[in-house]
Amino acid sequence: MASTVFSPFTLRGMTVKNRIVMSPMLMYRGQDDGMLNEYVYAHYAARALGGAGMIGTEVLAVEPRGRISAKDLGIWSDEQAAGLRRLTDFAHDCDARIFAQLAHAGRKSHLTGTAIAPSAIAYDETLGAPAEATIEDIEALIENYRAAAIRAVEAGFDAVEIHAANGYLLHEFLAPVSNTRTDDYGGSLENRMRLPLRVVEAVREAIPTGMPLLYRIVASDFGTDGVTIDEASRLSKEIRDRGVDLIDVQTGNILPGYEGPVYPGYQAPYGTRIKAETGLAIGATGSIASLDLAEFLLASGQADLVMMGRALLRDPFWPIRAAKEAGVEVDFPIPTYARATGPFERGF
Ligand SMILES: Cc1cc2nc3c(=O)[nH]c(=O)nc-3n(C[C@H](O)[C@H](O)[C@H](O)COP(=O)(O)O)c2cc1C
C-alpha cells in the first residue's frame, strides 16, 4: 500500500514532496543583531539534507523587542532577510520547501525592560511585568508584521506562518488571563481576536496570492482563563475567511507549566475538530516520532502534514530512515547517500 507520509501535498501554489515538516524550534544560537550565522545555517541545512518535505524556521522576530532572547533571529531589517536567502536557496536545492515563522514574544521576552503585552500582567516573577501596548504600539506592530512578510517573500520563503500560540503576543491578546484591556482589543472574543485578525489581513495582503499562509493557533488553554476550543474554532473560521490555508495546532503555555495530557499525537484531536469545522488543511504537532503514528494521522484524514519537532532535533535524517522503513524510494539530496548500504555488502 502506498505511503501517505511520502506522498506530495499541495497548498495554493506550493507543493511539498512529502508530509514531513520540521516544526519551528528556536535554537538560541543566532547573533545579537538577529542575523543568521554558520551554526543556525548548518542546523537547518542538515534537516534539508535529511529529507524533510518542508522546514519551518524558528521564531523570526518582527521587531527587536519581540525577541525571546538576544540570540533569536530577526526579520525586522532588510539585511536580516538578505542573510536568510542563503538558507532558502539551500532548502530549494534539496527540493525542500521552507516557511518563515513570524513571531513576537510579547510578555515572554527575556530582554530586559522592553517587553510589551496586551496588559501589564507578568508571565512570571522572573520576567516581570511588561508595558501595556498602546494603540500606537499596536498599529506599528501590524505594519511590522506586514513588512516582515514582504521581506520573507523577498528572502525566497515558500510560505509564511503567523505564530499565535505558546503564550506569545498574539496568544496573549486572545486569552482573557493575559488580556484585561477595556478598549477595542480586550473584553469580548471579537475584541480579543481583533489584533490576530488584523495581523492575518496585513500578512495576507503582503504575500503573493499563490503563497500559502499558515497560522499556529492555540486550541485550548485547559480552563486557565485562557483560550477555549470553542473560541479557537470561531477564530479558525475567521482566519480561513481572511486567507489562511493551514492551521498548525498547539495548546497551552499561556501560564508557566503545561496543564494538558501529553501522549503521542496529543494535539491532533483538536486539529481534527478544527478541520471538520473549517475544511482547512491541518498540521498535527506534538510527540509525533514514529512512522506509524504519522501515517495514521495523515491516512485517516485527521491531518494533512505532520509537524515534527524533537524527533528531527534528535535525528536530522529521520525522513530518510522512515522512507527506508516504509519501503519507499526517495531521491537523496546527496545521491551518494544511496551508497550507505548494509554490513553484508561491500562499501566502496
Ligand atoms: C527546543 C525547542 C524550541 C522550540 N521553539 C519553538 C519556536 O521557535 N516556535 C514555535 O512555534 N514552537 C517552538 N517549539 C515547539 C515545537 O515547534 C513543537 O510544537 C513542540 O516541540 C512539540 O512537537 P514535538 O513533540 O514533535 O517536539 C520549540 C520546541 C523545542 C523542543
The answer to whether residue 345 is domain-embedded is: no
- The per-residue pLDDT for 171 is 98
- The per-residue pLDDT for 348 is 84
The answer to whether residue 199 is domain-embedded is: yes
Give residue 183's domain range: 14-339
Check which CATH number belongs to the domain holding 127 and give it: 3.20.20.70
Per-residue model confidence as pLDDT tens digits over 228-281:
999 999 999 999 999 999 999 999 999 999 999 999 999 999 999 999 999 999
Minimal-distance CA residue to ligand 1 atom 26? 309
Nearest to 216, CA basis, from 165, 169, 182: 165
d(CA 307, CA 86): 23
- The per-residue pLDDT for 329 is 92
Grid cell, residue 196, equals 490576530
- Domain count across the chain: 1
The answer to whether residue 348 is domain-embedded is: no
The answer to whether residue 1 is domain-embedded is: no
CB 288 within 8 A of CB 265: yes
The full length of the chain comes to 348
- The per-residue pLDDT for 263 is 98
Distance from residue 123's CA to the centre of ligand 1 (Å): 19
CB 5 within 8 A of CB 295: yes
Predicted model pTM: 0.98
The answer to whether residue 3 is domain-embedded is: no
Answer whether 310 contacts ligand 1 (Cβ < 6 A).
yes
The answer to whether residue 205 is domain-embedded is: yes
Q: Would you tell me the crossing angle of helices 291-299 and 318-326 to the nearest 10 degrees?
A: 70
d(CA 347, CA 227): 56
Minimal-distance CA residue to ligand 1 atom 13? 25
Which atom, in ligand 1's list, is nearest to the CA of 287? 25
The answer to whether residue 346 is domain-embedded is: no
- The per-residue pLDDT for 342 is 86
Answer whether 294 contacts ligand 1 (Cβ < 6 A).
no
Distance from residue 67's CA to the centre of ligand 1 (Å): 16
Per-residue model confidence as pLDDT tens digits over 132-163:
999 999 999 999 999 999 999 999 999 999 99
Helical ranges in the chain per DSSP H: 38-49, 78-93, 135-154, 169-174, 189-206, 229-241, 268-278, 291-299, 310-314, 318-326
Answer whether 163 contacts ligand 1 (Cβ < 6 A).
yes
Distance from residue 309's CA to the centre of ligand 1 (Å): 5
Parts of the chain with a pLDDT under 70: 1
Q: Which residue out of 22, 23, 71 has the highest number of ligand 1 atoms within 8 Å of its CB and is therefore the one to mutate?
A: 23
d(CA 36, CA 25): 14
Distance from residue 28's CA to the centre of ligand 1 (Å): 12
- The per-residue pLDDT for 315 is 98
- The per-residue pLDDT for 346 is 92
CB 108 within 8 A of CB 167: yes
The answer to whether residue 130 is domain-embedded is: yes
